[in-house]
Structure 1
Amino acid sequence: MAFQILENLEMEMTCPICLKLLTEPLSLGCGHRLCKACITVDNQEAAVGSGKESSCPVCGVRYPLGNLWANRHLADIVEKFRDAKLTTGIGKKRDFCALHGEKLQLFCEEDRKVICWLCECSGEHPGHHTLLMEKVAKECQEKLQAALRRLRKEQQEAEKLQADIREDRISWKYQIQTERQRIQTEFDQLRRILDNEEQRELQRLEEEEKKTLDHLAQAEDELVQQSQVVKELISDLELRSQWSAVELLQDMSGIMKWSEIWTLKKPKTPSKKLKSVFHAPDLSRMLWMFRELKDVQGYWVDFTLNPVNLNLNLVLSEDHRQVRPVPIWPFKCYNYGILGSQYFSSEKHYWEIDISNKTAWILGVYCRKRSKKFGVSQSTTHSNNYSRYRPRYGYWVIGLQKKFEYYAFDETSTFDPKILTLSVAIPLHRVGIFLNFEAGTVSFFNITNHGSLIYTFCKCSYSWPVYPYFNPWNCPAPLTLCPPSS
């Protein structure tokens, strides 16, 4: 029993790092004790970090580097215990083999046991590989220290990641709150605009009502006056009809002539229909188009115009994002086409073109073989030039001619292309093009009019890579590639 108590006491005086009796023990805030040499190494590693802290190897509680103090009383007890062990031999029992009484100096790697030299020679560990116990213990200590260092670094990394996540959470909360306030502000502004439009329409209707009712009241007054005149005239004529022939012939006043020529003057009355009837805009459709355009703009791809095989009648800007035509005398050329620098063969792609101030252009996509040259071709008539803008020749395009005439060049069974006249509510200043390989479509959007759909080519089949196609035509204004509008 006394031996067990001494063993427990020795465990309490053992450093958890070096597993030896404490030397110059230092106490931590959590109550555990370590050797001064062991804790100094730990503090030096912790000082390298940003927090200037370390943690207890027993319980993991963090403590600042300055929160350490020398435990003199414990140091005296440990020193007395060490002297008692040397004097009485306490503690030596476990250092000797229980079977042979020899000192334990070897370690059997196969059985993972500490043995004496007689254990090795007795045949209890035949063919086993043995090492000196001190060497194995040193290696174990080194592995233990390395594991402690690694775990402490992992703990520091975990704490850093925890702090980063907390910062991310705060940042996301701030962004969400800011976006929520912005959405509420913008919708409040829309409500104010709708309220103002409602008041304006109601005011216009009230003005029309007042003006119409005033005209009707004036017309009614005029009819009342004429009705009074007619009554007086009828009364006078009824009185004269009772006269004798002599009295009637002797009083030939103007009343007779006036009664013959008097006619009713019909007043001007306003139309029975309102001058203008208010029609509320289809906000649901506008919002739907807005959301669809936002989804489409997520596939925006950045590219430039291709200067390879550039036609002589075209001039590119230095950044290859703008093209404009120039006249070439004495040749009359109708092919002003140029391709994008990037081709597509899958997925979804979107780009926008600024066509402000242009009176003619053609935009879309072109499918061609990579080896085919895209150079200048001359033509004598516009009809022949238009005939090639059709899907069977690899063109899915729309265009503008004569400043106000918008067309889509679709496919027909005849030689002439099917030129569809497009109805555009607001003149185009910026066009968005969405190429969808999955659906086999090419869609054109009027960015000027909240991203409303202009036209869509359906069931498109591409046997070769597809290039963005741009044709500034003979209008001197430039055609410019630009990022998506906000």
Structure 2
Amino acid sequence: MAAARERLQELQKEITCGVCQSYFSEPVTIECGHSFCRACLSLSWRVGATNFSCPECRQVPQVRELPAMNRHLAHLTGVVKELSCQLLHSAEGQHQCAAHKKGLKLFCEDDRTVVCVRCSQSSEHGAHMLSPVEEAAPRCREKLQNIMSQLEKHLEEADTLLAQEKRTDVEWLWMISGEYDKLHHFLMMEEFQCLESIRQEKKASQDRIFQQMQRVQKLMLNLQQAGHKPNVDLLQDVRQLLGRSESALSQMVKAATPEMNECPIPGLIEMLNRFRVDITMDPTTASPFVTVSEDLKSVKAGEAWQVDTEHPEDSFCHYVFAEQDFSSGRQYWEVDVSQLPQWILGINASHLKRRIGRNVDSSASVFLLQCVKKKDGYYLQTYPESLNHRVKGPVPRVGVYLEYALGTVVFYNVYRCSPIYRFFPISFTEPITPVFSPGPPLPGTKTGPMSICPVDSHLGACCFSCL
């Protein structure tokens, strides 16, 4: 009996699938000589996608199709399974209950365990559904086979779903790529139109200046000729000549200060908002002539801040620094200056953050944007650069973008979604601190605060269009 069992175990190894570790079901043999269940090999190749290798030796067959069923191996499998059942029946008599030393003849359907007759009569199993082992075993095999069929069906459905997902992924990726292509094309067209508009405005401005120069040259020639006229003739023409001269001079002065172009860029502020940072003002760095609010979000010019009415351009400016320093990454913040006719914003790239005084140290690395109110309008100026442009109206909200690694500081008109000025490149070597100044205030006027906008106070992309 022992020898027969050993021989049967050897045969069982020969008819066992290397994938599911069970008896072959519709066995197939591939080129390398290894055999598997047809369903197991199909599943393995499905999961392995383009590999199509042997699950056991990993050799890739020449023909990538499932071979026909190995009928000889299928017959052998059936014979061995029948012998195994016979041996199992003969061995079942040898299985005994550990408690009563009796043969395990019954199967408890409730507990799903085999018991002897005496166990079945105990209080533990007395009320349970019991079946003879010979009847219960085939039912269990049938249930397991049904489960296997269901699992195989689920695998096939999952395989179909996976294929659908792959097709959908490709379609989705192409769709997203197409939308980005449209967006890129749209932005390129917007860029072209914006640049073309600026070129045309610049050309028109240059043409006006050139025409003005021609008029001035003609006027100079007339003045030169008038200087050689007799006294009476000169005095008769002097009124007209002086009037033309004054007009030409005023127009030349106006042309010498260009007007700032506005170029709204769709999505610009939305993109910058990805880098919004929450900053506050440091009251310990504030000049005595400015007052910082309790929430550290606003600063206002104090009543003691007096401006020289005769020479306002020589008036001192007073500042406050932010509490935060930046030495890496990208940051963006917005400042509400709608209640101020004049203001200064920027950054300090020096270690002298804690210096308290009337002015930012001119020897420090400061980069500032200043709004100045004059009789003929508002002007935006920069330090240390030479920007001095008129603007059509006050800028109520200014955005500041800092990119430390590239050495870039850019100022934006938030409501117009338009850039104002860029400092680039700057070699930053120290932490960067935002700087604020709510003035200098205009003489005889009351001004409001300069306020850091909350991080969540975003403007819509169309805000500039309705202003």
Q: What is the TM-score with the length of structure 1 in the denominator?
A: 0.39
The structure number with the bigger radius of gyration is 1
Q: What is the TM-score with the length of structure 2 in the denominator?
A: 0.41
